[in-house]
Chain A
Amino acid sequence: TQLLEQSPQFLSIQEGENLTVYCNSSSVFSSLQWYRQEPGEGPVLLVTVVTGGEVKKLKRLTFQFGDARKDSSLHITAAQPGDTGLYLCAGVKRNAGNMLTFGGGTRLMVKP
């Protein structure tokens, strides 16, 4: 059982549709990050959320940190084929040596 559960694991949608990816845990995190990974590359940071209830926007992407800092969501509006990739959430726990713990990932495919 993973500390961070992401859902769905796979998502295939048409261009223009909206989608939400969830990242859930029973643990509290001091901060939570979202990364995007493309084939043959390492993950690249999209955003870090720190405060419970925080909402951050990055163009068509909206990230939210749960009030209790145990969960997060990523919402994409009007998805485009360029959004295709593996989305990973990662939580930081200060009392665990500031280790970055990753969820299992959501593989998104946006079809033209």
Chain B
Amino acid sequence: EAQVTQNPRYLITVTGKKLTVTCSQNMNHEYMSWYRQDPGLGLRQIYYSMNVEVTDKGDVPEGYKVSRKEKRNFPLILESPSPNQTSLYFCASRITGGGTEAFFGQGTRLTVV
């Protein structure tokens, strides 16, 4: 089954404790993205990657890092999480950029206390 898998689904952590949210897709898509979703703001792009070893900042990259060492995986790293990073995070993948369909994971709800 074609899918995007995120882990964990839920995470509560403390300020400053490094964490990684994993994302994996089995569709051989080149393009992967991370978004955060906050009430009334829709989905805002954090980082995106057009292929292996190619990453770029989205609209809200501060406080986040990503890596793309393999085509299927695109982890999101919070080196020193802060309460303003409490949010619902989604990973997505597409065949290429442009108007192709984005497939989303089920989301990771992160709470930083």
Residues of A at the B interface (CB closer than 8 Å) are: 2, 4, 6, 9, 30-31, 33, 35, 40-45, 48, 50, 88, 90, 92, 94, 97-105
Contacts and interface: CB of A to CB of B under 8 A. Distances in A.
Interface residues of B, number: 28
Interface string B98-113: 1101101111000000
Contacts of B105: 42
Given A31-B99, A97-B97, A42 B48 contact: no
A99 B45 CA distance: 8
B43 interface: yes
24 contacts: A2-B42, A9-B40, A35-B102, A40-B106, A41-B106, A42-B4, A42-B90, A42-B105, A43-B102, A45-B101, A48-B99, A92-B98, A94-B97, A97-B48, A99-B33, A99-B45, A99-B48, A100-B33, A100-B92, A100-B94, A102-B35, A104-B41, A104-B42, A105-B40
B74 interface: no
